[in-house]
Structure 1
Amino acid sequence: MTIPEIHNLFLQSNGVVIDTRKIISNSIFIALKGENFDANAFAQEALQKEASYVIIDNKNYYINDKTILVEDSLITLQELAKYHRKYLKNIIVIGLTGSNGKTTTKELIQVVLSKKYNTKATIGNLNNHIGVPLTLLSFTTETEFGIVEMGANHQKEIEFLCEIAQPDYGYITNFGKAHLEGFGGVEGVIKGKSEMYNYLKSNNKKAFVNIDDSIQEVKTVEINRITFSNNKESADIFINTIKANPYVIIEYNNVIIKSSLIGLYNANNINAAITIGNYFNVNNKDIKLAIESYIPDNNRSQIITKNTNEIILDAYNANPSSMLLALENFIQLEKENKFIILGDMFELGLESDIEHQNIVTFLEKQNDIKCFFIGNHFFKNKIKKENFTFIIDFENFKNYLQIKQFQNNTILIKGSRGIALERTLDYI
C-alpha cells in the first residue's frame, strides 16, 4: 500500500498510535521496534481494541485485511507525517530547537498564539524521530499554527527532522553544552543545531533570532529574520528591562509582564514568545495575559513550599550550560539559609570529568551556601570543603536525608533526568 493510500485511511481514522494502551476506536496502530521490544507482537491486541488498521513490518504477525504490511514501520510513520505536512497547505509550522529551554519556550509560544489562533504543539518533549512525526499527525486542517519541538543528540538529526516538518519559521533557543558525547563537543552542538538555519536559508524561510547571542547573530546574517534584543534598539522587538528575583519580569513597549518563571535563564524564552506573538499580530494585552497565566510544571523551574522550605525544583534535565545558569541565578537571590542539591549531568562523553569539575570549582568561592553533589560523576571530582558534601548515589543521599532535617531553607534542586532528583521532595 502506498503512502497516499495510507494517508487516505488516516484521514478517515481517529489518529495514529504506537502504544496499544492508548488505542481508541478507529485509530491506526503502527508497530515500531525497539532494542528490547517488537510491537508487531501487539497487532492482534490492537485490532481487538478496535483499531481500524494495524501497520506492521513483520509478516509473521499478519492477521487479516485490516493489516498493512510494510517494509519498515518507522519509515512509514515518518513518510506519512511528511506527506500529511504537505497536505496541510494552509498551516504555519514553527520549528524549535536548541540546547536549553526548548520545551518551556514551546509552551510559551503556544499559549501566546492560542490567544488568536487554533494552535497545536508538541506534547511534552516528544521531539525526536518518532515524536516529531506523531506531532505532525496530530495537526488537522483546522490547525492554523503548529509548533514542532525538535531535539537532537548527534549531527544531521535536526536536518532530518526539518525535512519531515518543513517549518515555515524557526527558532533556536541557544547553543549550550548538551549531548556533547553525541555531537562531539561544543562546536559540534553549534553545527548540529544550526542545521535548522541551513534549512530555513535553503528554503527561503524565516528565523526568529536573539541577536544578543553573538553566534546566532552572525549565523543568521544571510537569513530572512525577525530579531529581538535587550541591548540593541534596532531589533524588531526591543526588550527594555529584564529582572529576576526570583520571578522573571519583562518590560517592553510600555508593557510589564510578571511571569511565574524563575531565573534570568528563562528571560529569553519569554522574549521569544513575545516576539513571535507580536509578529503574528497577537495584541500586547493578550501576550501579557498569556505569559502571566503560564505556570511551569514537570519539574521545570517550579517553586514549591515543603514544610518550612522554599524549593526551586529544576530537576527535569541538566547540562553544564543550564546548570551554570541556574547556579548563577540562585546565588544572586536575596535569601538566607540557601542550600544547593546538584545531581550528575549525563551524555557528556570525554568532557564529563572536566565539566563536573568546572561546576565544583565555580561553587568553591561560595562559603555561605551548603552544597550537596549527588552521583558518581561529581563524586569522582570531590574536594574537601566545610560546606560541600559529596554522595555517590541517590540511595545514600536518601539515607542522609532521613537522618538530617531541612528547615527554613531556600533550596535549589538541579540534575539530569537519569538521576531523578525530584525524589528528594519525599524526604524534605
Structure 2
Amino acid sequence: MIQTTIQTIAKALDTSLFGCKDSDISISGISIDSRTVQPGNLYIPIIGERVDGHTFLDSAKTNGAVASFWQIDHKPYPDFPVILVKDTTVALQDLARAYMQSLSCTVIGVTGSNGKTSCKDMLYSVFSQKYKTQKTQGNHNNEIGLPLTVLDLDADVEIAILEMGMEHKGDINFLCSIASPDISIITSIGSAHMENFGSKENIARGKLEILTHTKSLCLYHTCPEIDAVLSEIPHGEVILHSFGPHGDSYIIGDIIHHKDGITFTCNDMENPVSMNVLGDFQAENALPVIYAAKTKQIDENAIEYGLEHIEMTKMRTQQITIGQATIIDDSYKSNPESAKVALDTLSSIPTPCHIAVLSDMLDLGENEKSLHAQIGTYAHQLGIDYVFCVGDLSFYTADAAQGTWFDSKQSLIQALRPFLDTDCAILVKGSRATAMDQIITDLQQGENE
C-alpha cells in the first residue's frame, strides 16, 4: 500500500495543508470508509448521493486515521491534519494516478463484458508463481474502486492486474488514464449495459478505449463487433493478438469435463492444461493468460500449476458443495451471453441431474422480455432437467423453458431443498440487484441446522 507523508501528497496534488503541526506525518494506506480505517491511514471522505463522508471524520480518527482529505467548501475546517482539495473523489483519483506513475511494475489491464474477473483471477494465479503480483480485489473496477486498488499496491509490486468495468462511453478511457496498462486484455463483447450504448459495436468501441492507452501488447477475443470497429482505433506500435475460435494462435483442442474442473489441449502448450474451474469458456479465458505469461518468461510448468490452483472471486462460477449437490454460484451478474455460457457449463458437468435457478437480467432495454424467453428456450434445448425462476422478467424464461416460476425466493428454496440430498448440479444466476446469492446462503444455513 502507499507509504508516504501528507506533505508529499499535498505537493503531488498541488494543494495545501491545514491543522498540521507536523507536515511530515507518515501515511500508511488510505480508506474511504471510516469503519475500515486502520491506524496510520489517510481518510478520504467521499460525497455520495445520500451520505457525505466528511460527517464521519470522528469515527475515522477513533479508528486511527492520522490525516484526512477535506473539501474546501466544507467549512469550518476541523482541528485535525487535513489536505485541502476541491473535490475529494477527484483528489483520490489524482493521488492514484500520481502513485501509479511512481511504480515500476508491469500493469495488465483487463476488461470485457464477461469473463474479466475470471481472467484476472487466472492471471494472478499464474503470474504469482514467479513475480510479486497484486490484483483488483472484489469488484473494485470503477472510478472509485480502481484508484483504491492502485493505492493498495505495494511499492515493490512487480505485476499489477487491474480489472476495468464500463457502464458508459469514456469509462475505460478514464480508468486507463490512471492505470496506464502495459498489456491489455479484452475478454468479450456482450449485451451488458446495452441501454447505455445502443449496439454491440458501440460496446466494442467502449472496450477498445483501452487500446489507445496500452503500451506494448493488446490481447482480444475475436468477435464480429471488434472486427468491425478495430480499424477505427489508433494504436501506434502496440502489438495486437487475437484469441478465441478464430484467433491468431493458441487454438484449443479437446476439452474434457470433470466434476470439479476441465482439462484441455492447446497447440502452444506441450502438455494438456488442467484447470480447477468449470466451463469451456474458461479455457478461452486462459488463452490470453498463457500468452501474456510467456511474454514475461514464465515457464510452462508454472503456467500449468497456476491454472490448476485458481482461487476464484466469490459469486463468479464459484463451486460450493451443499449436501450431495454441487452448487455453481454465478450470482454476481447476468446477461444473455453469460447466461448461455453458464447453462453450457451446467450441462457439461458429469452428474445425473442438472438444475438452473435463474432470476432477472437487467439493463437489457426494450427487448428484455424476448431475451429472457430466449434463455428459457436455450435451457430447454440443452435438456436442463429443471429450470426454476424467480423475478418478474424471469417469468418469460420459465415459460419458454417449460420450467417453474416462483413468486418468491422462499418458495423456490423450499422446492430446491430436496435436491440437496441427490447427486446433482445446481446453477444459481441473476443480475446483482436480484441478490440470488441469498438463495445459496439460505440453503447452507438450512443444511447446518
TM-score (norm 2): 0.85
Q: Residues 47 and 54 of structure 1 are in contact (CA less than 8 Å); yes or no, is this contact kept in structure 2?
A: no
Q: How does 1:351-390 map to 2 (within 5 A)?
A: 351-365=367-381, 369-379=385-395, 383=399, 387-390=402-405
Distance 1:322 1:11 in 2: 48
Kindly tell me: are residues 32 and 176 of structure 1, through their superposed partners in 2, closer, same or farther at Cα, counting changes over 3 Å?
same
1:3 to 12, 25, 50: 12
- The answer to whether the aligner puts 1:197 opposite 2:208 as a matched pair is no
**Is residue 377–residue 397 contact of structure 2 (8 Å, CA) maintained in 1?**
no
User: Is residue 356–residue 426 contact of structure 2 (8 Å, CA) maintained in 1?
Assistant: yes
Distance 1:281 1:101 in 2: 24
Matched, 1:80 2:95: yes
Task: Classify 1:216/1:187 alpha carbon distance in 2 versus 1 (closer, same or farther; 3 Å).
Answer: closer
Is 2:147 the counterpart of 1:133? yes
Structure 2 letter corresponding to 1:155: K
TM-score by length of 1: 0.89
Q: How far did residue 350 of structure 1 move?
A: 2.4
Aligned partner letter, 2:366: L
Residue in 1 that maps onto 2:407: 392
Q: Using a 3 Å threshold, how does the CA distance of structure 1 residues 233 and 390 change in structure 2: closer, same or farther? A: closer
Structure 1 pair 182/40, CA: closer, same or farther in 2 (3 Å)? same
1:287-298 equivalence runs, <5 A: 287-298=303-314
**Partner secondary structure for residue 383 of structure 1:** helix
The residue aligned with 2:427 is 412
Does the 8 Å contact 2:142/2:165 carry over to 1? yes
Offset of residue 279 of structure 1: 1.1
**Pairing 1:336–2:352 present:** yes
How far apart are residue 382 of structure 1 and its match? 5.2
The Cα offsets for residues 7-40 of structure 1, whole Å up to 9 and x where unpaired, read as: 9989941111101122122210000011110000
Partner of 2:77: 62
Closer/same/farther in 2, CA of residues 195 and 243 from structure 1, 3 Å limit: farther
Task: Report the CA distance between 1:5 and its aligned residue.
Answer: 6.0
Q: Which residue does 1:281 correspond to in 2?
A: 297
Partners of 1:220 and 1:280 lie apart in 2 by 26
SS of the residue corresponding to residue 361 of structure 2 reads coil
Residues 349-388 of structure 1 deviation map (CA, whole Å, 9 limit, x = unaligned) = 3232222121122234456611112111112565387x51
Whether the 8 Å contact between 2:43 and 2:69 is mirrored in structure 1 is yes
1:47 matches 2:58: no
User: What letter corresponds to residue 186 of structure 2 in structure 1?
Assistant: I
Identity in percent: 28
Structure 1: how far apart are the matches of 2:120 and 2:145?
14
Alpha carbons of 1:293 and 1:329: their partners in 2 closer, same or farther (altered >3 Å)?
closer
Partner of 2:257: 244
Secondary structure of the 1:134 match is: helix
CA distance in 1, matches of 2:431, 2:150: 28
CA distance in 2, matches of 1:261, 1:113: 18
Q: Are residues 367 and 217 of structure 1, via their aligned partners in 2, closer, same or farther at CA, if it must alter by over 3 Å?
A: closer
Give structure 1 stretches of 5+ with no counterpart. Answer: none
The 1:10/1:111 distance shift into structure 2, 3 A limit, reads farther
Q: 2:380 & 2:251 partners in 1: Cα distance?
A: 37
Code of the residue aligned with 2:12 in structure 1: it is I
User: What secondary structure does 2:27 align onto?
Assistant: coil
Picking from 166, 172, 185, the partner of 1:158 is: 172
Does the CA contact (< 8 Å) of 2:183 and 2:217 recur in 1?
yes
SS at match of 2:393: helix
Does structure 2 retain, via aligned residues, the 8 Å contact 1:43–1:56? no
- SS of residue paired to 1:262: coil
Which residue type is aligned with residue 316 of structure 2? R
Please, which moves more after superposition, 277-286 or 390-399?
390-399
**1:7 to 1:342, Cα distance in 2 relative to 1, 3 A:** farther
Q: In structure 2, what is the Cα distance between the partners aligned to 1:240 and 1:216? A: 24
Q: How far does the alpha carbon of each residue in 1:96-126 deviate from its partner, in whole angstroms, 9 at most, with x for none? A: 1101111111111112111111111111110
Q: 1:24 to 1:61 in 2, by over 3 A?
A: farther
Q: Deviations over 1:169-228 (max 9, x none)?
A: 11111001112223334233222112112333xxx53212345x4544665577533636
1:355 partner SS? helix
Question: 1:420, CA displacement in angstroms?
Answer: 2.3
Q: Secondary structure at the match of 2:277?
A: strand
CA-CA distance at 1:269 after TM superposition: 1.7
Cα 1:372–1:37 change in 2 (3 A) is same
Give the match for residue 180 of structure 1: 194
Contact preservation (8 Å) 2:325, 2:420? yes
**One-letter amino acid of the structure 2 residue matched with residue 3 of structure 1:** A
Equivalent residues, number: 420
Q: Which amino acid aligns with 2:289?
A: A
CA distance in 1, matches of 2:366, 2:307: 39
Could you say what secondary structure the match of 2:39 adopts?
coil
Question: What does residue 327 of structure 1 align with?
Answer: 343
Contact 1:99 1:178 in 2 (8 A): yes
